[in-house]
Amino acid sequence: MAETTDTGLPRAVAIAWGMQEVPQRGPSRGMSHERIVKAAIEVADNEGLAAVTMQAVAKPLGFTTMSLYRYVSSKDELLRLMQDAALTIPEKVELPTDWREALRVWAGVVREAYRAHPWVLEIPRGPVSILMPNSVRAANLGLGAMKDLPLADDVKIGVILVISQHVASSVELERDLAQEGIVAVPAEGVAVLAEVITPERFPHLAPVMKSGNYIDDEVPVVENGDGIDAEYDLGLNLIISGLETMEQQGTPVNDATK
Amino acid sequence: MAETTDTGLPRAVAIAWGMQEVPQRGPSRGMSHERIVKAAIEVADNEGLAAVTMQAVAKPLGFTTMSLYRYVSSKDELLRLMQDAALTIPEKVELPTDWREALRVWAGVVREAYRAHPWVLEIPRGPVSILMPNSVRAANLGLGAMKDLPLADDVKIGVILVISQHVASSVELERDLAQEGIVAVPAEGVAVLAEVITPERFPHLAPVMKSGNYIDDEVPVVENGDGIDAEYDLGLNLIISGLETMEQQGTPVNDATK
DNA sequence: GCATGTTTGTGTAGGTCATAAACAGATTAT
DNA sequence: ATAATCTGTTTATGACCTACACAAACATGC
């Protein structure tokens, strides 16, 4: 599926790491991966990921659609490059010494990266994604945040995955709810829904909905904007709190960093 | 964006709840939402979500492509119906009384539902998804698992979201890694990668990779199949453990169920 | 310099898809 | 009956990705 280079690495990985040798014989190139990806990101930022067509990317650059294929072997590859390039982790991040605070800062950095380009979450993240430069940088930073936490390496990797996924899901939820006109269910629709979500059929959920915090006239069932922050904090707090007990219980450690 | 009915509810919601009145005047219908969705799910199960085209769904049913549009207003609506129908929660689930075990069982049920149709995770889950019958059933069951946990309702809702998202992400990761030929990076490629992931540039990550658990000849950086189970358990354990301390600390309770 | 092979950007064309529009036959309401 | 409405179909349109072929540009080896 994913095109591979002679090193056996997916092409997108080689390109993103700058490991793709440039041809020498022909005319010099008038374009570059960087400029293409940048233009594509601009389109996605302005008009959404669905608006990213080869034509829409090429045109502002003053090139033809097909010319992009001299740099990118498929649209899929372009999407993968965008996915990595959009995950902009700041060059220098000051991490607190306390691992709890450090993890919070780290999660916040990742969260802001997603928030800056929410469409990245629409791109399917295959196993290749994790080999890309910015994913590696993010993982490295996350491990740094946990450097004083006495847990095994594979647990730390797991924590990084769990937190990343939580952050991603949270931003995704936030983005979904921000789309007005979809969430807004008028009172009439809510009333109709209340007829099928009865206490008999849904004994545990129905009372919660009745309690009113989750159904007002506009926003049903799920939380509003503030609720998203609450959900983000809740998940992060639970994970960190869980790590604390794990730390106190002293899980066996197998740390390669010594 | 999402088509709405006269009740103001998205059409997909009305259809899924069986709240869509059937026309009376014309000829009787030769097709049904159920059969269409079932056929579509079959295609997705066999050939992946990408193979779900209106034609591919209609043909096995002996109907034309366009006939589907008499039942479904767009492909997007069909996808949403598939998304809900694929989340098959068992009719009766025996939940242990202990909320910790009950949450584990609940998470397992959701996990198996996703595993049965992993392609659901490729369908963008908009805010509408949460109004669909099976999402509501899942939420109700999750709340039931926590019925003896003295926490506020909105916290419980948050916990359900957090756990669902963790389960979904974990299954997604599992599915990605199961696709052979993408993950398999030959030793040569790994060696090349090791040249750019240097201890100087990635002081925390590089030692972990060197430690060997994460790079063998075939599977780089990320865990193999067993590792996925470990990641799933880790996340769930952290969340539940976090809930335990929250329980012991006695967070203020505001329970609508009394 | 010059021939040769390579690479670039472009134009053309083919194939897949979703879906709008118009129509004939079926069925029910008046 | 007559009119209104609905069903399934045929036809057509417009996005899109991308394979292919071509001419001009450029580096290398003679």
pLDDT digits (tens, 9 = 90+) for B61-85: 999 999 999 999 999 999 999 999 9
Chain B 101-160 contacts with nucleic strand C (CB below 7 A): none
Mean pLDDT per 10-residue run, chain A (258 residues)?
Answer: 75 94 88 97 98 98 98 97 97 96 98 98 90 96 97 95 97 84 66 91 91 48 69 97 92 50
- Report, as an integer, the average pLDDT of B224-244: 91
Nearest-CB residue to B234 (from A162, A203, A241): A162
Residue B125 corresponds to which amino acid?
A: R
Using a CB–CB cutoff of 8 Å, tell me whether A152 touches chain B: no
For an interface test with A, give the residue of B21, B165, B258 to mutate (most A CBs within 10 A): B165
Q: Chain A residue with minimal CA distance to B220?
A: A131
Q: Residue A158: which of B155, B202, B231 has the nearest Cβ? A: B231
Q: Which nucleotide is nearest to A27 (CA to C1')?
A: D26
CA to C1' distance (Å), from B62 to C23: 21
Q: How far is the CA of B150 from the C1' of C18 (A)?
A: 50
Determine which of A236-245, B21-30, B42-51, B110-119 has the lowest per-residue pLDDT on average.
B21-30
- Is there a contact between B205 and A158 if contact means CB atoms under 8 Å apart? no
Q: Is A139 in contact with A153 (CB distance < 8 Å)?
A: no
- All CATH 1.10.10.60 domain ranges of chain A, comma separated, are 11-85
Task: Using the CA of B29, give the nucleotide whose C1' is nearest.
Answer: D7
Token reading at B144:
């039931």
| B19–A196 CB contact, under 8 Å | yes
Interface residue A147 vs chain B (CB under 8 A): yes
Compute the nearest-CA separation of A69 from chain B (Å): 22
**CB within 8 Å: B231 and A196:** no
Q: Where on strand D do bases come within 7 A of a protein Cβ?
A: 4-11, 15-21, 24-28
Q: Which of residues 146-205 of B touch strand D (CB under 7 A)?
A: none
Q: Give, in order, the Cα–Cα distances in Å from A44 to each of A34, A57, A71, A79, A206.
A: 15, 10, 19, 11, 40
How close does chain B come to A144, measured CA to CA in Å?
6
- Among B188, B146, B61, B36, residue whose Cα is nearest residue A204: B146
Q: Does B245 touch chain A (CB under 8 A)?
A: yes
pLDDT at B215: 47
Tell me the pLDDT tens digit for each residue of A105-144.
999 999 999 999 999 999 998 888 989 999 999 999 999 9
CB contact under 8 A, A241 and B246: yes
Name the percent of chain B lying above pLDDT 90: 71
B75: how many CB neighbours lie within 10 A of its CB? 15
From chain B residues 102-141, the ones with a CB under 8 A of any chain A CB are 122, 124-128, 130-131, 136-137, 139-141
Two structure tokens written together for A112 = 């802001």
Residues of chain B with Cβ-Cβ distance to A182 below 8 Å are: 1-2, 10, 126-128
**CA pair distance B193, B201, nearest whole angstrom:** 13
Any B CB within 8 A of A65 CB: no
Under the banding of pLDDT at 50, 70 and 90, the label for residue B180 is low
Is B32's CB less than 7 Å from nucleic acid strand D? no
The whole-angstrom separation of Cα B107 and Cα A164 is 19
- The nucleotide minimizing the C1' distance to residue B69's CA is C19
- Burial (CB count within 10 angstroms: exposed 0-12, middle 13-18, buried 19+), residue B158: buried
Using the structure, give the distance in angstroms from the CA atom of A55 to the C1' atom of D15, rounded to a whole number: 11
In this complex, the residue of A147, A211, A222 whose CB is nearest that of residue B130 is A222
Average pLDDT of the residues in B73-100: 97
- Are A257 and B208 within 8 A, CB to CB? yes
Cα(B105)–Cα(B109) distance, rounded to whole angstroms? 6
The CATH number that domain B11-85 falls under is 1.10.10.60
Strand, coil or helix: A126: coil
Q: Is B56 an interface residue toward A (CB < 8 Å)?
A: no
Q: Are A114 and A121 in contact (CB under 8 A)?
A: yes
Please report the pLDDT score of residue A62 as a whole number. Answer: 97
A10 backbone dihedrals φ, ψ, rounded to 5°? -55, 140
Which residue intervals of chain B are DSSP H helices? 11-16, 33-47, 54-58, 75-85, 99-116, 133-145, 153-178, 187-196, 205-210, 225-249
Question: Any atom of strand D under 7 A from CB of B25?
Answer: yes
Residue B49 banded pLDDT, cuts 50, 70, 90:
very high
Average pLDDT for B12-40: 94
Q: Is B69 part of the contact surface with chain A (CB cutoff 8 Å)?
A: no
pLDDT of residue A179: 73
- Which site among A171, A196, A234 would you substitute to test the B interface, given the most B Cβ atoms closer than 10 Å to its Cβ? A234
Q: What is the pLDDT of residue B2?
A: 67
| Closest alpha carbon within chain B to A238 | B242
